[in-house]
Amino acid sequence: MPHLNELYRVAARLLGDTTRAEDVVQEAYLQAWKSFHRFAPGTNCRAWLFKILINTIHHYRRKWLNPRLVTDSEETLEQTAAAAPPIPEHITEEEILRALDRVPADYRTAVLLADVEEFSYKEIAAMLNVPIGTVMSRLSRGRRILREQLSELAQSYGIGRAGEEGRGA
């Protein structure tokens, strides 16, 4: 089936649960099958499938997840994401995924779609049903939060606590 693996991986990262990711991917393909008549030939099938996946995830997130896990306010994030701390030289994939999972869902979605799946801002805006400016804003903040989460790893390794140039309290 086309793009199944990509859809599953994004779903798993957005939901943080592989079983639910399987359910959501299955549901997304069922939805795609039912609404295939709405797919415009010649357009990007992969983007269309991802849009269905994102909608399905939003639906299931409302059903499954505790609302506090869904998103933080952008104002709060603005305050907490103001630094660009050092990131460990050697980070494992598991550490990156753990840091990614700590990025609030809306920003994590933008980061995954742009930096991993390499969709354009315009395609992401259509998938998320938000303006392109919102996509850019979420992406910028999502990347910054990801780096911040990775920097916490650095601090846990004892990196950057002393002698860092250009840093202060």
Partner 1 sequence: MNVIRFEDAACGKVRGYLDSYLSNELRVETNHEVLRHLESCPRCAAELSVRARVRTGLQAAVRGTSVPDGLEGRVQRAVRAQNRRTRAGLYTMAVAAILIIGLAIVSLRRAKTGPEEAILAKASGRLALVLNVGLRDHLHCAVFRKYDKAVVQLSPEFADLARLIQARLAGDFRIIQGHRCTAGGRQYVHLIVTHGDKLLSLILTRKRSGESLSGGVFQEGVDHFQVVGFESHDYLVYVISDLDAQQNLQLAANIAPAVREYLAAHAG
Task: Return the axis-axis angle of helices 4-15 and 45-64, rounded to nearest 10°.
Answer: 30
- Helix (H, G, I), strand (E, B), or coil: what is residue 137? helix
Q: Name the one range near partner 1 by CB under 8 A: 25-33, 46-54, 60-68, 69-77.
A: 25-33
User: Which of 58, 148, 49, 147 shows the shortest CA–CA distance to 106?
Assistant: 58
By CB under 8 A, is residue 125 in contact with partner 1? no
Binding to partner 1 by residue 109, rule CB under 8 A?
Answer: no
Amino acid found at 116? V
> Under the criterion CB under 8 A, does residue 46 sit at the interface with partner 1?
no
Cα separation, 33 vs 155, whole angstroms: 48
Query: Interface with partner 1 includes 75 (CB under 8 A)?
Result: no
Q: Which of 52, 105, 111, 124 binds partner 1 (CB under 8 A)?
A: 111
Question: Do 134 and 125 meet the contact criterion of CB atoms below 8 Å apart?
Answer: yes
Do the beta carbons of residue 167 and residue 156 sit within 8 Å? Answer: no
Interface residues with partner 1 (CB under 8 A) are 1, 4-5, 8-10, 12-13, 18, 22, 25-26, 29-30, 33-34, 79-80, 82-87, 91, 93-94, 96-97, 100, 111-112, 114-116, 118, 121, 139-140, 143, 146-147, 150-151, 166-169
